[in-house]
Structure 1
Amino acid sequence: MSRSSAFHQADPAVLESLRRRIRGLEGAFCRADGGGVLGLGAPALDEALPWGGLPRAALHEVQAADGGAAAGFCAGLLTRLAGGTGTVLWCRRGYGRRLYGPGLTAFGLDPARLIVVRGRNATDVLWVMEEALRSGALAAVLGEAEGLSVTAARRLQLAAEGGATAALLLRGRDDEGASPAVTRWRVAAAPGARAEGRPGVGRPRWRVDLIKCRNAAGAAAGGPRSWLVEWTDGPDGTTAGGFAVVADLRDRSCAAPGGDGAALLRLAG
């Protein structure tokens, strides 16, 4: 065998070793069995993510186009991450407005399984988040912080991987700096639809944009994806439910004037 041809023959053992190292660098959420992935409950959302759902041991960012709407979306994420038995941590900055307990309960987030910590500044919030993530004792950790440096965000990502715990970062409307987060979502309020036989304003709805996704391929790699998403009750009629996509807001066809599609377009804005 010539020396040149030897370079073209790959050693299967070496290739497998390299694959294991790459999977390790990508994080625990890349496990082939999907055990570290959270299904969002809406196939359109899960299929847009290369892991088939939201990686648990990773940092995810939610950019608040509307503060209250984004907080509600995060409450829904925490509910699904907690899974009915886990405890979650919400780190807040400052001592201003409080979380509204009945509003959190409407998303199935039991206040008895919610720990709220208030920090004097962003440094305090990030320290609490990092320590909580590394402990591995919680189902998820959410923090409110703006103007985060890439280094600080990277520390959160590493802490999430080390503790196998989901990290959510709630950022402001104009906070669009670089970040190592695995996904970034932009969330804005959308008009709700009244549920049949139920009084009130109807189910919560959001316009959700997936503006960053690591390792995205196919349609997810073509640019931001947008959906009209609502929160739905669980099958047993309790408030513990999940997300449902009402409409894909990208590359959708226009229905004839006066039809159901026209009404949906008005809802979607």
Structure 2
Amino acid sequence: MSAVRYDVLATLREQIASIEGESGRKCGFLPFGVPPIDAVLPGGGLGGGALHEFAGGGSGTVDGAAAALFAAGIAARTNGPVVWCLTRPDLFFPALAQVGLRASQVVFVESDKEEEVAANMEEALAFGGLGAVVGEMVRLPMVTSRRLQLVAERTGTMALVVRRWRRQTEANDFGQPTAATTRWRVSVVPSEELPVPGIGRPRWFLELLRSRAGECAEFYVGACDGQGRIDISTGSADGQDQTGRSRYSG
């Protein structure tokens, strides 16, 4: 991206932000600390008082494990406790701890019905004083997402929805419009190579599919570390072409 184009886009984003209101400025933004990613996000990071949506890609489309870890790493870097709403108590907590989300930070809220997850998220967001509220959902209707977005804006708490499906056919719902400020798809790709035999750092293919007042983009990144941080991964994995579209991206 040329310097002139970058300056023009930055000016346009500021103008759009002023039209949409001051909520984003008051809530602040959570940067990834990765310049290529922060550069395409309005405000230089994820909006604090906003709804963000995540789903798995490729072989992880249904379970959404990588998407959940990505969301957990983001939640770990917020200030305050984290509420995680779910219906299936199958999270592997040592994996969450590896991406920076500690047990002392999280309160899990388990529901019997899918519909209750959104209600629990809304109540937690309205409480205020939290770092983030995470919810695992099969469906995210526009009305539901709009309610979550509005409550997040009011209290300044980040809302993170992880789309988890029980079967592949349900994943088609991910293409439906929502009020999420950003929408991400996270696919697992072969881990980074080491100079000696062993298992390298996990790698993801991140697709920023929607960014309000921003750009869509794709990145190969090293998965979240113990502080919830990602970094740009160099080199391309087997089976990937130059655009990042591969058998892993679904």
**Bin for the TM-score computed over the shorter chain:** 0.7 to 0.9
Root-mean-square deviation (CA), in Å?
2.5
Distance 1:72 1:182, change over 3 A: same
Structure 1 equivalent of residue 186 of structure 2: 187
**Structure 1 residue 120: Cα displacement:** 1.5
2:45 is the counterpart of 1:48: no
Aligned partner of residue 203 in structure 1, secondary structure? coil
Q: Which runs of 5+ in 2 are unaligned?
A: 1-13, 165-170, 241-245
When structure 1 is superposed on structure 2, of 139-148 and 152-161 the one drifting more is 139-148
Structure 2 equivalent of residue 115 of structure 1: 107
Aligned partner of residue 70 in structure 2, secondary structure? helix
Tell me which of 71, 74, 78 is aligned to 1:74. Answer: 71
Aligned partner of residue 211 in structure 1, secondary structure? strand
Structure 2 equivalent of residue 136 of structure 1: 128
Structure 2 equivalent of residue 206 of structure 1: 204
Q: Which structure is larger by alpha-carbon Rg, 1 or 2?
A: 1
Provide the rounded CA distance (Å) in 2 between the counterparts of 1:166 and 1:26.
Answer: 17
Identical pairs, percent: 35
Aligned partner of residue 23 in structure 1, secondary structure? helix
Cα distance per residue 1:93-123 (max 9 Å; x no partner): 2xx4421121111111111111111111222
Kindly indicate whether the alpha-carbon contact (under 8 Å) linking 1:209 and 1:225 is maintained by their aligned counterparts in 2.
yes
Kindly indicate whether the alpha-carbon contact (under 8 Å) linking 1:188 and 1:206 is maintained by their aligned counterparts in 2.
yes
Letter in 1 for 2:208: L
Aligned length: 216
Task: Tell me the TM-score normalised to structure 1 length.
Answer: 0.73
Aligned partner of residue 152 in structure 1, secondary structure? helix
> After superposition, where does 1:1-269 map in structure 2 within 5 Å?
23=18, 25-26=20-21, 28-31=23-26, 36-65=28-57, 66=60, 67-82=64-79, 86-93=80-87, 96-172=88-164, 173-174=171-172, 175-194=174-193, 201-216=199-214, 220=215, 224-231=216-223, 233=225, 239-247=226-234, 264-266=236-238, 268=240, 269=246
Q: Where in structure 1 do 4 or more consecutive aligned residues deviate above 3 Å?
A: 19-27, 194-197
Provide the rounded CA distance (Å) in 1 between the counterparts of 2:147 and 2:22.
Answer: 14
Using CA pairs below 8 Å that are at least 6 residues apart, which structure has the higher relative contact order? Answer: 2
Letter in 2 for 1:176: G
**Structure 1 residue 159: Cα displacement:** 0.6
Distance 1:125 1:267, change over 3 A: same
Letter in 2 for 1:205: R
Distance 1:122 1:210, change over 3 A: same
**Structure 1 residue 241: Cα displacement:** 4.6
Provide the rounded CA distance (Å) in 1 between the counterparts of 2:195 and 2:85.
Answer: 37
Letter in 1 for 2:82: V
Q: Which runs of 5+ in 1 are unaligned?
A: 1-18, 234-238, 248-260
Letter in 1 for 2:217: R
Provide the rounded CA distance (Å) in 2 between the counterparts of 1:56 and 1:211.
Answer: 19
Kindly indicate whether the alpha-carbon contact (under 8 Å) linking 1:23 and 1:30 is maintained by their aligned counterparts in 2.
no
